Structure 1
Amino acid sequence: MSEAEPAAPERARWKFLRDLAIIVVVALFASFVVRTYLVRSFFIPSVSMERTLLVGDRVLVNELVPGVVPVRRGDVVVFRDPGGWLGPAQGDDLIKRVIGLPGDTVSCCGVAGELSVNGHPVHEPYVVLQPGSPRVAAEDFSVTVPEGRLWVMGDNRSRSADSRIHGSVPESDVVGRAFVTTWPVSRWSVLSRYGGVWDAVPDPS
């Protein structure tokens, strides 16, 4: 071995440090990509989604929806204010549940007070109607959702200013689908779209 050639332990140490540096750089890059383009955290500021989401909850949002993964009925989505939904001091994003897809006819209300979509009554187990509190909008309506738009409503139907007041939301304004509550720890849970309820809804004829 020549004097210029490093000893085996030294070579191993430098190889370890090099590999460690590569791992750290790759991990930081992956974290940046995930946080910037795939998953974001959002804070819940209002009561419109109670009991599913409470004021102060934090949720993770999958930003592959709707660009890569399609929106489905029952999804809880974050979307940018299409204009006029929020006051100037309330931020730019809202969170509601998708009730109607493009072409769907959403009607309210049936004999039991339930919605129907494409003529199919939807029994929503997550809905809150506070006793003695009037609905935000008129109870009876029938709307066909335009192409490229979504009909969204809050789970707290008595306290949600949603599509009943503001109309449908452009699908292009959807930031992503909320899929888990991460904070506080006591509230950790996966957000269900209640597939058993919504998958029974027929497509528009």
Structure 2
Amino acid sequence: MSHRSVLLTATSARLRALTTTDRPAGRRSALRGLVVPAAVALVLAFVLKTFVFQVFVIPSGSMMGTLQKGDRVAVDKFSPWLGDTPQRGEVVVFRDPGGWLPPEPGAGGVLGGVRSALSWVGLAPSADEKDLIKRVVAVGGDTVDCRAGRPLTVNGTALEEPYVYPGATPCDDYPVGTVTVPPGHLWVMGDHRNDSADSRFQQLHNPGGGFVPTDHVVGRARVLVWPLPRWASLPVPETFRHVG
């Protein structure tokens, strides 16, 4: 074998060695290029869900007139960190004050794992988070008068409620009479009054009463984001601006 042939053989062997050692390194580099951005995205999603906003799925028809079952709303969780408190007329998401929701068995297996992962980043509701959505009608210190055959009044002012589901009555289903909201609490009602186990129902049937502690409020629902054809903001109705 000539010197030139020996040199070419050695060069080929060296190239093969370099190629085989570079392949795993290249795969590892490509994998890092996928894993790192995905991890950053998940952390950002978790931070946004925890401190800024979260998308919630409407679980029932109790807010029909404004929100349908299955709608998605974007809930502002940042404003409470700045000291904002719930105001009359706002639609808010809040944790179960106790006994408002029946216990539900959590999903197990692969489905449960997927749901837990999606809820961790705020893309699905968690089975552990017992959340409800209602409209704030009165805040601490307010007096609510809720009687059959009459309009709902707050601090003596009768509310005009165009947001109430057509055909529903303000208070006929659960006429609780006159109640005063304790400081640090809220009186909440669904827009579909005939299909809402809200503060009225809880006041009559729940030993814990119908008041929601303000520190149970997760945030204010500001925008209906899905379905897209019905995209809309959720402002405070004009009638609440006239309550003394």
TM-score range relative to shorter protein: 0.7 to 0.9
Residue in 2 that maps onto 1:197:
239
> Relative to 1, partners in 2 of residues 1:183 and 1:80: Cα closer, same or farther, differing over 3 Å?
same
* Structure with the bigger percentage of strand: 1
Unaligned runs of 5+ in 1: 1-23
Which structure: larger Rg?
Answer: 2
What TM-score do the two structures reach when normalised by structure 2? 0.65
Pick from 82, 86, 97 the counterpart of residue 82 of structure 1: 97
Kindly indicate whether the alpha-carbon contact (under 8 Å) linking 2:223 and 2:232 is maintained by their aligned counterparts in 1. Answer: yes
Quote the Cα distance in structure 2 between the aligned partners of 1:183 and 1:46: 15
Kindly indicate whether the alpha-carbon contact (under 8 Å) linking 1:120 and 1:201 is maintained by their aligned counterparts in 2. Answer: yes
Give the letter for the 2:191 counterpart: D
Pick from 93, 98, 104 the counterpart of residue 142 of structure 2: 104
Cα deviation, residue 100, structure 1: 0.5
Matches within 5 A, 1:99-178: 99-109=137-147, 113-128=150-165, 130=167, 135-137=172-174, 139-166=175-202, 167-178=210-221
Residue in 2 that maps onto 1:17:
none
Kindly indicate whether the alpha-carbon contact (under 8 Å) linking 2:168 and 2:192 is maintained by their aligned counterparts in 1. Answer: no
Give the letter for the 2:160 counterpart: H
Quote the Cα distance in structure 2 between the aligned partners of 1:140 and 1:164: 6
Deviates more, 1:30-39 or 1:73-82: 30-39
Cα deviation, residue 25, structure 1: 9.6
Give the letter for the 1:127 counterpart: V
* Structure with the bigger percentage of helix: 2
> Relative to 1, partners in 2 of residues 1:75 and 1:173: Cα closer, same or farther, differing over 3 Å?
same
Cα deviation, residue 124, structure 1: 1.0
> Relative to 1, partners in 2 of residues 1:92 and 1:140: Cα closer, same or farther, differing over 3 Å?
closer
- Measured on the aligned residues, the alpha-carbon RMSD in Å equals 2.7
Unaligned runs of 5+ in 2: 1-37, 105-127, 203-209
Give the letter for the 1:122 counterpart: L
| Structure 1 residue matching 2:78: 3-state secondary structure | coil
> Relative to 1, partners in 2 of residues 1:110 and 1:192: Cα closer, same or farther, differing over 3 Å?
farther
Cα deviation, residue 34, structure 1: 2.3
1:51 corresponds to 2:65? yes
Deviation string for 1:56-102 (max 9, x for gaps)? 10001001344422211000000000110001129600000000100
Quote the Cα distance in structure 2 between the aligned partners of 1:110 and 1:161: 16
Percent same amino acid at aligned positions?
A: 49
What TM-score do the two structures reach when normalised by structure 1? 0.77
Deviates more, 1:28-37 or 1:86-95: 28-37
Deviation string for 1:124-166 (max 9, x for gaps)? 110125469x9442x2511000011000000000000000021
